[in-house]
Amino acid sequence: MEKKRIVTGDRPTGKLHIGHYFGSLINRVKLQDEYEQFILVADVQALTDNFDNPEKVRNNVRELVMDYLSCGIDPEKTTIYIQSMIPETTELTIYYSNLVTVARLERNPTVKTELAQKKHVFGENITYGFLGYPVNQAADITILGGEVVPAGEDQEPLIEQCREIVRKFNSIYGDVLKEPEIYLSENKRIKGLDGNDKMGKSLGNAIYLSDTPEEITRKVMSAVTDPNRIKKDDLGNPDVCMVAYYHKLFTGKEDLQKVCEECRAGKRGCVACKKELAQNIIEYLRPMREKREYLEAHPEIIDKVLLEGTAKAKKEAEKIMKKIKQAMKLDYFGNINK
Ligand code: SF4
């Protein structure tokens, strides 16, 4: 039976952290066996809010791929490619831009949330490119015939926007494009070390997959604990402690139970508890860190993965673009695009 095709990706704007790992990477490692998976390094999309800092985007392309391979994404099973090297995506974005209104983009809840986070205001400092990134994302998915898109609930409006564009396209030009389904990720968003709902570089509350043991220890020692606990024998509440929260991710079931019981009974010191957690995170991430160190010493591996992946994705995109142009009556002079 033919495997369904997944298209997903990330913007190359920084190294990946444990929030990315539990939020999406762990899923992608699992899904690469069940689906035909394409992962795009979304450099064009990264420029929507980094257009004045192209160095940052370029420098993070390899970092991102090193994180992918370190955590178990296998280039034999998953095609990893660079978005800007598939010009068909840009072309399709233009065609799609006629099929969506500005008002609809302004109403997109994901766009609204991002704008609020960046403190941007409609009509003032929003670029055409930023407002249109859901259209570009729809082109990314459909130019490769994406059937399934793994995403969290917060990304659902973007997939719905893509589905709307596809329906509109097919209703005007004929049944050419596949309407993708969302694959809702089971893993919730991972909170930051400071208790913030989001983990992120700009918030300074993240543990990166590539952090050294020293960095991990330093960061864990700064994590927020139960504020009512002053002395070691004060009765604690692990439900309000970020250290206990991370123990749930990195510590075995029995040891986790012990952490919570001892905390509640006032028999566990926060410093020792943090040191234990730091050690567990260090051990958990050790294989990824070691693989990354190897890849850092062998950049030719990353180049090969990207070159081969991009060539494969380009071939797929060309096939689909040919059908799109035929449907849109843009196939002048025969198969000029073959
Ligand atoms: Fe948190 Fe551990 Fe301190 Fe309890 S003992 S408050 S779980 S750091």
Contact 150, 28 (CB under 8 A): yes
d(CA 201, CA 60): 13
Task: Report the DSSP beta bridge partners of residue 267.
Answer: none
The residue count of the chain comes to 338
Residue of 84, 81, 87, 100 whose CA lies nearest to 138: 100
pLDDT, one tens digit per residue, over 245-264 is: 999 999 988 999 999 999 99
Residues 250 and 324 in one domain: no
What is the predicted pLDDT for the residue at 201?
A: 75
Q: Name the least confident of 47-56, 90-99, 122-131, 317-326.
A: 122-131
Widest CA span of the chain, in angstroms?
Answer: 82
Atom of ligand 1 nearest to the CA of 223: 8
**Would the pLDDT of 18 be above 70?**
yes
Q: How many CB atoms lie within 10 A of CB 3?
A: 13
What pTM does this model have?
0.89
Residues 220 and 305 in one domain: no
Is the residue at 227 inside a domain? yes
CATH number at residue 320: 3.40.50.620
**Would the pLDDT of 336 be above 60?**
no
pLDDT, one tens digit per residue, over 139-198 is: 999 999 999 998 877 788 899 999 999 999 999 999 999 999 998 866 567 899 999 888
Which pLDDT band holds residue 123 (cuts at 50, 70, 90)? low
Pocket lining: 43 vs ligand 1, CB cutoff 6 Å: no
Range of the domain at 308: 5-191+299-334
Distance between Cα 258 and ligand 1 center (Å):
11
Q: What is the 3-state secondary structure (H, E, C) of 309-328?
A: HHHHHHHHHHHHHHHHHHHC
Pocket lining: 306 vs ligand 1, CB cutoff 6 Å: no
pLDDT averaged over every residue in the chain:
92
Residues 272 and 327 in one domain: no
Residues 306 and 266 in one domain: no
What is the predicted pLDDT for the residue at 120?
A: 67
pLDDT, one tens digit per residue, over 44-67 is: 989 988 999 999 999 999 999 999
Residues 144 and 75 in one domain: yes
Answer with the residue of higher pLDDT: 200 or 14. 14
For ligand 1, atom 8, which residue shows the shortest CA distance? 270
Is the residue at 206 inside a domain? no
